[in-house]
Amino acid sequence: MILPLYEDASTGLKTVTNFLRLNGLANIYDRKQPIVIIAIHGWQPKLLQNFVKLDSHKFCVRMAQAIRLKLNLGPNEGDITSISLNGYGMILNRRDDFLKQIQGNKTKCDKIKNAKILFMVGHSQGVPVSVLLMDKLIEVGLVNPDHQQICACLMAGISQGPVKRFDVAERLAQILDDDQSAEMFALQRSSSPISRAYRDAASHILKRGVKVLYLACGNDEAVPLHSSLYSNMYHPSINRGIYVAGYVYKQKKFVADLVRILLRIRNNNHSDHGLLVLLSEALIGYLCDKGHSDLHDEPETYQYAVDHLYHSKEYKGIDVKFTEFDYTLPEKPRNIYMAWAMRGLLSDEKTIISEKLIPDFKNLRESFKTWSPHPLDLTAIELKCDLQPFGDDTEEQYINVYQNFLTG
Protein backbone atom coordinates (compact mmCIF):
# COMPACT_ATOMS: atom_id res chain seq x y z
CA MET A 1 0.00 0.00 0.00
CA ILE A 2 1.06 3.58 -0.71
CA LEU A 3 0.88 6.02 2.20
CA PRO A 4 -0.73 8.45 2.53
CA LEU A 5 -3.79 7.17 0.67
CA TYR A 6 -4.38 9.53 -2.21
CA GLU A 7 -7.71 10.57 -0.68
CA ASP A 8 -5.74 11.81 2.35
CA ALA A 9 -3.14 13.62 0.30
CA SER A 10 -4.98 16.90 0.07
CA THR A 11 -7.71 18.48 2.17
CA GLY A 12 -11.12 18.00 0.61
CA LEU A 13 -9.83 15.68 -2.12
CA LYS A 14 -11.61 12.57 -0.90
CA THR A 15 -15.06 13.73 -1.97
CA VAL A 16 -13.85 14.76 -5.42
CA THR A 17 -11.89 11.55 -5.95
CA ASN A 18 -14.78 9.32 -4.88
CA PHE A 19 -17.13 11.25 -7.18
CA LEU A 20 -14.80 10.67 -10.11
CA ARG A 21 -14.49 6.98 -9.31
CA LEU A 22 -18.25 6.49 -8.95
CA ASN A 23 -18.97 8.22 -12.24
CA GLY A 24 -16.05 6.70 -14.11
CA LEU A 25 -13.07 8.63 -15.35
CA ALA A 26 -13.94 7.53 -18.88
CA ASN A 27 -17.09 9.70 -18.76
CA ILE A 28 -15.05 12.80 -17.89
CA TYR A 29 -11.86 12.46 -19.92
CA ASP A 30 -11.58 11.80 -23.64
CA ARG A 31 -10.74 8.11 -23.97
CA LYS A 32 -9.21 8.70 -27.40
CA GLN A 33 -6.73 11.42 -26.47
CA PRO A 34 -3.13 10.39 -27.25
CA ILE A 35 -1.01 9.41 -24.25
CA VAL A 36 2.77 8.87 -24.19
CA ILE A 37 4.78 7.06 -21.52
CA ILE A 38 8.55 7.60 -21.35
CA ALA A 39 10.42 5.30 -18.95
CA ILE A 40 14.01 5.27 -17.68
CA HIS A 41 15.56 2.49 -15.59
CA GLY A 42 18.10 2.99 -12.81
CA TRP A 43 21.77 2.47 -12.09
CA GLN A 44 23.75 -0.70 -12.54
CA PRO A 45 27.38 -1.18 -11.39
CA LYS A 46 29.83 -1.33 -14.29
CA LEU A 47 30.84 -4.86 -13.28
CA LEU A 48 27.28 -6.12 -13.90
CA GLN A 49 26.27 -4.14 -16.96
CA ASN A 50 27.40 -6.83 -19.42
CA PHE A 51 25.71 -9.64 -17.49
CA VAL A 52 22.44 -8.23 -16.10
CA LYS A 53 20.54 -5.91 -18.42
CA LEU A 54 17.97 -3.52 -17.00
CA ASP A 55 14.94 -2.76 -19.16
CA SER A 56 12.61 0.24 -18.83
CA HIS A 57 9.84 -1.46 -20.81
CA LYS A 58 8.23 -3.00 -17.73
CA PHE A 59 7.65 0.50 -16.34
CA CYS A 60 5.76 1.38 -19.51
CA VAL A 61 3.66 -1.78 -19.25
CA ARG A 62 2.74 -1.05 -15.62
CA MET A 63 1.88 2.57 -16.31
CA ALA A 64 -0.23 1.67 -19.34
CA GLN A 65 -2.15 -0.84 -17.20
CA ALA A 66 -2.79 1.83 -14.56
CA ILE A 67 -4.02 4.31 -17.16
CA ARG A 68 -6.39 1.77 -18.71
CA LEU A 69 -7.70 0.81 -15.28
CA LYS A 70 -8.36 4.42 -14.27
CA LEU A 71 -9.95 5.32 -17.61
CA ASN A 72 -11.92 2.07 -17.83
CA LEU A 73 -10.24 1.05 -21.08
CA GLY A 74 -9.90 -2.47 -22.40
CA PRO A 75 -6.49 -4.16 -22.90
CA ASN A 76 -6.15 -2.88 -26.48
CA GLU A 77 -8.12 0.34 -26.14
CA GLY A 78 -6.74 3.84 -25.98
CA ASP A 79 -4.02 5.65 -27.91
CA ILE A 80 -1.07 4.88 -25.62
CA THR A 81 2.52 4.98 -26.88
CA SER A 82 5.38 3.55 -24.81
CA ILE A 83 8.95 4.81 -25.18
CA SER A 84 11.40 2.80 -23.07
CA LEU A 85 14.89 4.27 -22.85
CA ASN A 86 17.71 1.89 -21.97
CA GLY A 87 21.39 2.48 -21.42
CA TYR A 88 23.96 3.20 -18.74
CA GLY A 89 26.27 6.06 -17.91
CA MET A 90 26.57 9.16 -15.79
CA ILE A 91 23.44 11.21 -15.29
CA LEU A 92 24.05 14.02 -17.76
CA ASN A 93 25.45 11.61 -20.36
CA ARG A 94 22.34 9.44 -20.09
CA ARG A 95 20.14 12.50 -20.52
CA ASP A 96 22.00 13.54 -23.68
CA ASP A 97 22.01 9.99 -25.08
CA PHE A 98 18.29 9.58 -24.52
CA LEU A 99 17.54 12.97 -26.04
CA LYS A 100 19.46 11.91 -29.17
CA GLN A 101 17.54 8.63 -29.28
CA ILE A 102 14.26 10.51 -29.28
CA GLN A 103 15.30 13.27 -31.69
CA GLY A 104 16.70 10.67 -34.09
CA ASN A 105 13.32 8.96 -34.41
CA LYS A 106 10.66 11.01 -36.21
CA THR A 107 7.85 8.71 -35.08
CA LYS A 108 8.77 9.18 -31.42
CA CYS A 109 9.10 12.93 -31.86
CA ASP A 110 5.66 13.18 -33.48
CA LYS A 111 4.06 11.00 -30.81
CA ILE A 112 5.50 13.15 -28.02
CA LYS A 113 4.54 16.43 -29.70
CA ASN A 114 0.97 15.29 -30.37
CA ALA A 115 0.37 13.72 -26.97
CA LYS A 116 -2.25 15.33 -24.77
CA ILE A 117 -1.01 13.44 -21.71
CA LEU A 118 2.58 12.53 -20.94
CA PHE A 119 3.96 10.34 -18.16
CA MET A 120 7.67 10.23 -17.39
CA VAL A 121 8.63 7.24 -15.23
CA GLY A 122 12.03 6.95 -13.56
CA HIS A 123 13.62 4.66 -11.01
CA SER A 124 16.71 5.09 -8.80
CA GLN A 125 19.44 6.90 -10.77
CA GLY A 126 16.85 7.20 -13.52
CA VAL A 127 14.99 9.76 -11.39
CA PRO A 128 17.41 12.68 -11.87
CA VAL A 129 17.91 11.53 -15.47
CA SER A 130 14.13 11.71 -16.02
CA VAL A 131 13.86 15.21 -14.59
CA LEU A 132 16.83 16.49 -16.60
CA LEU A 133 15.48 14.87 -19.78
CA MET A 134 12.02 16.36 -19.28
CA ASP A 135 13.59 19.79 -18.89
CA LYS A 136 15.49 19.27 -22.16
CA LEU A 137 12.39 18.04 -24.01
CA ILE A 138 10.62 21.23 -22.98
CA GLU A 139 13.63 23.34 -23.95
CA VAL A 140 13.85 21.90 -27.48
CA GLY A 141 10.09 22.20 -28.01
CA LEU A 142 9.12 18.52 -28.13
CA VAL A 143 7.09 18.91 -24.93
CA ASN A 144 4.82 21.88 -24.19
CA PRO A 145 3.27 21.99 -20.69
CA ASP A 146 0.92 24.77 -21.83
CA HIS A 147 -0.91 22.30 -24.06
CA GLN A 148 -0.12 18.96 -22.40
CA GLN A 149 -0.85 17.38 -19.04
CA ILE A 150 2.40 15.97 -17.66
CA CYS A 151 3.29 13.88 -14.63
CA ALA A 152 6.71 12.57 -13.59
CA CYS A 153 6.45 9.36 -11.54
CA LEU A 154 9.79 9.12 -9.72
CA MET A 155 10.44 5.95 -7.72
CA ALA A 156 13.13 5.34 -5.08
CA GLY A 157 15.16 8.17 -6.54
CA ILE A 158 18.71 8.98 -5.57
CA SER A 159 17.85 12.69 -5.39
CA GLN A 160 19.93 13.46 -2.30
CA GLY A 161 22.40 10.60 -2.50
CA PRO A 162 22.56 7.05 -1.10
CA VAL A 163 22.64 6.04 2.57
CA LYS A 164 25.76 7.09 4.42
CA ARG A 165 26.66 3.52 5.35
CA PHE A 166 27.53 3.03 1.65
CA ASP A 167 30.67 5.14 2.07
CA VAL A 168 32.75 1.99 1.57
CA ALA A 169 31.01 1.58 -1.79
CA GLU A 170 32.10 5.10 -2.72
CA ARG A 171 35.72 4.25 -2.02
CA LEU A 172 35.36 0.99 -3.97
CA ALA A 173 33.89 2.89 -6.92
CA GLN A 174 36.91 5.19 -6.93
CA ILE A 175 39.29 2.23 -6.87
CA LEU A 176 37.43 0.50 -9.72
CA ASP A 177 37.11 3.75 -11.69
CA ASP A 178 33.31 3.38 -11.64
CA ASP A 179 32.41 7.04 -12.24
CA GLN A 180 28.70 6.21 -12.53
CA SER A 181 28.62 4.88 -8.97
CA ALA A 182 30.89 7.59 -7.57
CA GLU A 183 28.63 10.28 -9.03
CA MET A 184 25.70 9.20 -6.86
CA PHE A 185 27.62 10.27 -3.77
CA ALA A 186 28.04 13.76 -5.21
CA LEU A 187 24.24 14.07 -4.85
CA GLN A 188 24.72 14.01 -1.06
CA ARG A 189 25.80 17.65 -1.34
CA SER A 190 23.45 20.27 -2.78
CA SER A 191 26.49 22.34 -3.77
CA SER A 192 27.86 19.71 -6.19
CA PRO A 193 27.51 20.44 -9.94
CA ILE A 194 25.21 17.46 -10.56
CA SER A 195 22.96 18.40 -7.63
CA ARG A 196 22.69 21.94 -8.91
CA ALA A 197 21.90 20.77 -12.45
CA TYR A 198 19.20 18.43 -11.10
CA ARG A 199 17.71 21.11 -8.84
CA ASP A 200 17.60 23.66 -11.70
CA ALA A 201 15.86 21.15 -13.99
CA ALA A 202 13.32 20.22 -11.29
CA SER A 203 12.66 23.91 -10.64
CA HIS A 204 12.11 24.61 -14.34
CA ILE A 205 9.65 21.78 -14.99
CA LEU A 206 7.67 22.46 -11.82
CA LYS A 207 7.36 26.15 -12.67
CA ARG A 208 6.16 25.20 -16.17
CA GLY A 209 3.36 23.06 -14.71
CA VAL A 210 4.71 19.50 -14.65
CA LYS A 211 3.27 17.52 -11.75
CA VAL A 212 5.83 15.45 -9.86
CA LEU A 213 5.38 12.37 -7.70
CA TYR A 214 8.27 11.26 -5.47
CA LEU A 215 7.78 7.76 -4.05
CA ALA A 216 9.93 5.97 -1.47
CA CYS A 217 10.07 2.28 -0.57
CA GLY A 218 9.71 1.50 3.13
CA ASN A 219 12.48 -1.08 3.19
CA ASP A 220 15.00 0.70 0.98
CA GLU A 221 18.50 -0.14 2.16
CA ALA A 222 20.24 1.88 -0.55
CA VAL A 223 18.41 5.22 -0.61
CA PRO A 224 17.23 7.01 2.57
CA LEU A 225 13.69 8.31 2.88
CA HIS A 226 14.63 11.98 2.61
CA SER A 227 16.50 11.28 -0.65
CA SER A 228 13.71 9.30 -2.33
CA LEU A 229 11.30 12.09 -1.41
CA TYR A 230 13.68 14.93 -2.39
CA SER A 231 12.68 16.40 0.95
CA ASN A 232 14.60 19.68 0.57
CA MET A 233 12.51 20.73 -2.44
CA TYR A 234 9.22 22.55 -1.76
CA HIS A 235 6.51 23.14 -4.39
CA PRO A 236 2.71 22.58 -4.37
CA SER A 237 2.89 20.43 -7.55
CA ILE A 238 5.02 17.83 -5.73
CA ASN A 239 3.23 14.88 -4.15
CA ARG A 240 5.08 12.35 -1.99
CA GLY A 241 4.31 8.83 -0.80
CA ILE A 242 5.89 5.68 0.61
CA TYR A 243 5.22 2.03 -0.16
CA VAL A 244 4.56 -0.13 2.91
CA ALA A 245 3.34 -3.74 2.77
CA GLY A 246 -0.10 -4.12 4.37
CA TYR A 247 0.93 -6.61 7.02
CA VAL A 248 4.01 -4.51 7.89
CA TYR A 249 1.71 -1.53 8.40
CA LYS A 250 -0.25 -3.50 10.98
CA GLN A 251 2.91 -4.66 12.76
CA LYS A 252 4.55 -1.22 12.82
CA LYS A 253 1.48 0.96 12.89
CA PHE A 254 2.76 3.83 15.00
CA VAL A 255 5.85 4.43 12.86
CA ALA A 256 3.93 4.02 9.60
CA ASP A 257 1.18 6.39 10.77
CA LEU A 258 3.72 8.98 11.84
CA VAL A 259 5.32 8.89 8.39
CA ARG A 260 1.86 9.00 6.76
CA ILE A 261 0.93 12.17 8.68
CA LEU A 262 4.26 13.83 7.87
CA LEU A 263 3.82 13.05 4.18
CA ARG A 264 0.29 14.44 4.23
CA ILE A 265 1.67 17.62 5.79
CA ARG A 266 4.36 17.93 3.12
CA ASN A 267 1.87 17.18 0.34
CA ASN A 268 -0.13 20.18 1.49
CA ASN A 269 2.98 22.37 1.29
CA HIS A 270 3.56 22.75 5.04
CA SER A 271 6.72 22.13 7.03
CA ASP A 272 7.25 18.80 8.80
CA HIS A 273 9.82 20.56 11.04
CA GLY A 274 12.55 18.24 9.81
CA LEU A 275 11.02 15.04 11.16
CA LEU A 276 11.22 13.12 7.89
CA VAL A 277 14.94 13.75 7.66
CA LEU A 278 15.45 12.78 11.32
CA LEU A 279 13.49 9.56 10.76
CA SER A 280 15.30 8.65 7.54
CA GLU A 281 18.37 6.98 9.03
CA ALA A 282 16.32 4.95 11.53
CA LEU A 283 13.88 3.73 8.87
CA ILE A 284 16.40 2.42 6.34
CA GLY A 285 15.09 -1.03 5.41
CA TYR A 286 12.50 -0.94 8.20
CA LEU A 287 8.97 -0.69 6.81
CA CYS A 288 8.85 -3.59 4.37
CA ASP A 289 10.33 -7.00 3.65
CA LYS A 290 11.43 -6.49 0.07
CA GLY A 291 14.29 -4.70 -1.68
CA HIS A 292 15.20 -1.31 -3.09
CA SER A 293 13.78 -2.01 -6.54
CA ASP A 294 10.45 -3.68 -5.73
CA LEU A 295 8.51 -0.44 -5.65
CA HIS A 296 8.33 -0.39 -9.45
CA ASP A 297 6.55 -3.77 -9.46
CA GLU A 298 3.59 -2.47 -7.42
CA PRO A 299 0.54 -1.54 -9.57
CA GLU A 300 -0.56 0.95 -6.90
CA THR A 301 2.56 3.01 -7.60
CA TYR A 302 1.40 3.81 -11.11
CA GLN A 303 -2.24 4.26 -10.09
CA TYR A 304 -1.06 6.88 -7.61
CA ALA A 305 0.68 8.73 -10.44
CA VAL A 306 -2.48 8.72 -12.55
CA ASP A 307 -4.46 10.09 -9.59
CA HIS A 308 -1.90 12.85 -9.13
CA LEU A 309 -2.10 13.88 -12.76
CA TYR A 310 -5.88 13.92 -13.03
CA HIS A 311 -6.96 15.08 -9.58
CA SER A 312 -4.42 17.62 -8.35
CA LYS A 313 -4.48 21.34 -9.08
CA GLU A 314 -2.10 23.08 -11.46
CA TYR A 315 0.45 25.49 -10.02
CA LYS A 316 2.18 27.07 -13.00
CA GLY A 317 4.53 30.01 -12.55
CA ILE A 318 5.30 29.28 -8.89
CA ASP A 319 8.97 29.18 -7.89
CA VAL A 320 10.30 26.30 -5.82
CA LYS A 321 11.72 26.74 -2.35
CA PHE A 322 14.87 24.83 -1.53
CA THR A 323 17.05 24.32 1.52
CA GLU A 324 20.72 23.43 1.13
CA PHE A 325 22.06 20.12 2.49
CA ASP A 326 25.30 18.22 2.97
CA TYR A 327 24.95 14.60 4.06
CA THR A 328 28.68 13.99 3.89
CA LEU A 329 28.99 15.78 7.22
CA PRO A 330 28.75 13.90 10.55
CA GLU A 331 25.15 13.21 11.47
CA LYS A 332 23.46 15.13 14.24
CA PRO A 333 22.43 12.93 17.20
CA ARG A 334 18.83 12.07 16.43
CA ASN A 335 17.75 11.61 20.05
CA ILE A 336 18.53 15.28 20.82
CA TYR A 337 16.55 16.76 17.93
CA MET A 338 13.63 14.35 17.46
CA ALA A 339 11.61 15.47 20.48
CA TRP A 340 12.13 19.16 19.66
CA ALA A 341 11.03 18.59 16.07
CA MET A 342 7.86 16.86 17.27
CA ARG A 343 7.22 19.70 19.72
CA GLY A 344 7.65 22.22 16.92
CA LEU A 345 5.14 20.35 14.76
CA LEU A 346 2.56 20.01 17.52
CA SER A 347 2.78 23.73 18.29
CA ASP A 348 2.39 24.64 14.61
CA GLU A 349 -1.14 26.01 14.82
CA LYS A 350 -1.45 26.83 11.12
CA THR A 351 -0.60 23.29 10.00
CA ILE A 352 -2.58 21.41 12.65
CA ILE A 353 -5.76 23.43 12.26
CA SER A 354 -5.75 24.13 8.52
CA GLU A 355 -5.11 20.50 7.64
CA LYS A 356 -7.60 19.18 10.22
CA LEU A 357 -5.00 16.91 11.78
CA ILE A 358 -6.45 16.81 15.31
CA PRO A 359 -7.99 13.31 14.88
CA ASP A 360 -4.74 11.98 13.39
CA PHE A 361 -2.63 13.25 16.26
CA LYS A 362 -5.11 12.08 18.89
CA ASN A 363 -5.04 8.59 17.38
CA LEU A 364 -1.26 8.75 17.09
CA ARG A 365 -0.94 9.62 20.77
CA GLU A 366 -3.17 6.71 21.77
CA SER A 367 -1.11 4.44 19.56
CA PHE A 368 2.09 5.74 21.15
CA LYS A 369 0.82 5.02 24.66
CA THR A 370 0.08 1.39 23.83
CA TRP A 371 3.14 0.94 21.61
CA SER A 372 5.28 -1.82 23.03
CA PRO A 373 8.16 -2.59 20.64
CA HIS A 374 9.45 -6.14 20.42
CA PRO A 375 12.66 -6.55 22.47
CA LEU A 376 14.58 -7.38 19.29
CA ASP A 377 13.20 -4.40 17.37
CA LEU A 378 16.02 -2.01 18.24
CA THR A 379 14.84 0.64 15.77
CA ALA A 380 11.42 0.86 17.41
CA ILE A 381 12.94 0.87 20.91
CA GLU A 382 15.20 3.81 20.00
CA LEU A 383 12.34 5.72 18.36
CA LYS A 384 10.11 5.13 21.38
CA CYS A 385 12.84 6.63 23.54
CA ASP A 386 13.52 9.55 21.19
CA LEU A 387 9.81 10.45 20.98
CA GLN A 388 9.01 9.88 24.65
CA PRO A 389 8.02 13.54 25.22
CA PHE A 390 5.21 12.95 22.71
CA GLY A 391 3.49 10.99 25.47
CA ASP A 392 3.76 13.78 28.07
CA ASP A 393 0.74 15.76 29.23
CA THR A 394 2.18 18.97 27.77
CA GLU A 395 1.85 17.62 24.26
CA GLU A 396 -1.71 16.49 24.92
CA GLN A 397 -2.57 20.02 26.00
CA TYR A 398 -1.65 21.30 22.55
CA ILE A 399 -4.09 18.88 20.97
CA ASN A 400 -6.83 19.74 23.48
CA VAL A 401 -6.36 23.46 22.85
CA TYR A 402 -6.75 22.97 19.11
CA GLN A 403 -9.74 20.67 19.66
CA ASN A 404 -11.45 23.31 21.82
CA PHE A 405 -10.64 25.97 19.24
CA LEU A 406 -12.31 23.98 16.50
CA THR A 407 -15.39 22.99 18.51
CA GLY A 408 -15.75 26.24 20.47
Higher model confidence: residue 18 or residue 129?
A: 129
The pLDDT of residue 176 is 52
The pLDDT of residue 18 is 46
Residue 284: helix, strand or coil by DSSP? Answer: coil
- State the pLDDT confidence band at 52, using cuts at 50, 70 and 90: low
Higher model confidence: residue 9 or residue 252?
A: 252
Q: Which CB contacts under 8 angstroms, 24+ apart, belong to 365-374?
A: 365/390, 365/391, 365/395, 365/396, 365/399, 367/253, 367/254, 367/257, 368/254, 371/254
The pLDDT of residue 23 is 44
pLDDT 10s digits, 360-371:
888 888 888 888
pLDDT 10s digits, 247-268:
788 888 899 999 999 999 999 8
- State the pLDDT confidence band at 137, using cuts at 50, 70 and 90: very high
The pLDDT of residue 330 is 76
- State the pLDDT confidence band at 123, using cuts at 50, 70 and 90: very high
Give the mean pLDDT of 80-98. Answer: 95
Give the mean pLDDT of 140-169. Answer: 88
Give the mean pLDDT of 293-302. Answer: 84
State yes or no: pLDDT of 164 exceeds 90. no
**Four-CA torsion 205, 243, 285, 59, nearest 10 degrees:** -60
Least confident of 195-199, 228-232, 341-345: 341-345
State yes or no: pLDDT of 403 exceeds 70. no
State yes or no: pLDDT of 290 exceeds 60. no
The pLDDT of residue 11 is 47
CATH of the domain spanning 2-244+288-322: 3.40.50.1820
The pLDDT of residue 110 is 97
Which residue, among 394, 402, 388, 404, has the nearest Cα to 360 in the 3D structure? 402
Of all residues in the chain, what percent carry a pLDDT higher than 90?
A: 50
- State the pLDDT confidence band at 9, using cuts at 50, 70 and 90: low
Burial level of 32, CB count in 10 A (0-12/13-18/19+)? exposed
The pLDDT of residue 25 is 47
Neighbours of 99 (CB within 10 A): 18
- How would you write 136-171 as a 3-class SS string? HHHHCCCCCCCCCEEEEEEECCCCCCCCHHHHHHHH
The pLDDT of residue 172 is 54
The pLDDT of residue 287 is 80
The pLDDT of residue 204 is 98
The pLDDT of residue 17 is 45
What is the rounded CA–CA span in Å between residue 300 and residue 303? 5
The pLDDT of residue 400 is 66
The pLDDT of residue 34 is 95
The pLDDT of residue 19 is 42
Higher model confidence: residue 180 or residue 21?
A: 180
- State the pLDDT confidence band at 178, using cuts at 50, 70 and 90: low
Number of H helices, E strands in the chain: 18, 9
Single pTM value for the model: 0.90
Phi, psi (degrees; rounded to nearest 5) at 322? -145, 140
Enumerate the β-bridge partners of residue 243.
2, 217
Of all residues in the chain, what percent carry a pLDDT higher than 70?
A: 82
- State the pLDDT confidence band at 15, using cuts at 50, 70 and 90: very low
